[in-house]
A and B are shown apart, each in its own frame.
Chain A
Amino acid sequence: ILNVEQSPQSLHVQEGDSTNFTCSFPSSNFYALHWYRWETAKSPEALFVMTLNGDEKKKGRISATLNTKEGYSYLYIKGSQPEDSATYLCAFEGNKLVFGAGTILRVKS
């Protein structure tokens, strides 16, 4: 059974704080690592898809890094805003796409 672990399970931060989450995945049979944002009452939306060890991607205040040798990825949010409140999902792509349980982020204004 493929284990994709995300930590922390939930996070409450103040507006303006920077934060980061971790996604751990198997280091074998790796093809890609996906990050999605899932807001309440909406469908998950893709943030990044990363394939290369050492890859770093950025979209506005959100960035992600990838270490395929040790099997982890970090997602960073700089200067969190209330609209960043969502569940952040990572997914390991090998033979199929397997999701972690997500990190719930709540940003208080």
Chain B
Amino acid sequence: DTGVSQNPRHKITKRGQNVTFRCDPISEHNRLYWYRQTLGQGPEFLTYFQNEAQLEKSRLLSDRFSAERPKGSFSTLEIQRTEQGDSAMYLCASSLNKGSSPLHFGNGTRLTVT
């Protein structure tokens, strides 16, 4: 069990640029979640995959955000035309595909938009 891996750990970008983050879940985990965390807040749900199917996407997410999980393995989260308000920690987590399984989190990608 190598754990959930996220890359990059840090990303600094200029406003208006596109960024892409990658998450490699624990290999036998079917479920994969993306969360965003800003200072003083708990993780905010962004989206959720079961295998390659994106089952839920937060209504808070604008069209600038998109996530994929091709082949049900790793996942990418892309933010287009970044804004300063996108600066946050982006967390990925995975879990087994059975009820009430705990999430295993990666170390996150910290995005700073200047």
**Could you list which residues of chain A lie within 8 angstroms of chain B, going by C-beta atoms?**
4, 6, 31-32, 34, 36, 42-46, 49-51, 89, 91, 93, 95-102
Cα A51 to Cα B99 in complex, Å, equals 9
Nearest Cβ distance between residue B86 and chain A, in whole angstroms? 19
Most buried by A among B42, B44, B105: B42
- The reply to whether A96 and B48 contact each other, CB–CB distance below 8 Å, is yes
Q: Are B42 and A99 in contact, CB atoms less than 8 angstroms apart?
A: yes
Contacts of B105 in A (CB 8 A): 43-45
The 5 closest A-B pairs by CB, nearest first: A46-B102, A32-B100, A43-B105, A99-B42, A101-B42
**Chain B contacts of A96 at CB under 8 A?**
45, 48, 56
In Å, the complex CA distance between A95 and B45 comes to: 12
Assembled-state Cα–Cα distance A76/B52 (Å): 38
Contact A49–B44 (Cβ < 8 Å): no
**Residues on the A chain within 8 Å of B4, using CB:** 43
Instruction: Give A103's nearest chain B residue, CB to CB.
Output: B42
Contacts of A45 in B (CB 8 A): 105
- A49-B102 contact in complex given A95-B56, A96-B56, C-beta closer than 8 Å: yes
Interface residue stretch chosen among B14-22, B33-41, B69-77: B33-41
- Please measure, in the bound complex, the distance between the C-alpha atom of A18 and the C-alpha atom of B90, giving whole angstroms: 33
CB of B100 within 8 A of CB of A49, answer yes
A99→B44 contact, CB < 8 A: yes
User: Do A34 and B42 touch (CB < 8 A)?
Assistant: no
Identify which of residues 55-83 in chain B touch chain A, using a CB-to-CB cut-off of 8 Å: 56
Contact B100 A51 (CB under 8 A): yes
Across-interface contacts of B45 in A (CB, < 8 A): 96-99
> Residue on A with the closest CB to B105?
A43
Given contacts A44-B103, A97-B33, 15 further A-B contacts (CB under 8 A): A34-B103, A36-B103, A43-B91, A43-B105, A43-B106, A44-B105, A45-B105, A46-B102, A46-B104, A51-B99, A96-B45, A99-B42, A99-B44, A101-B42, A102-B42
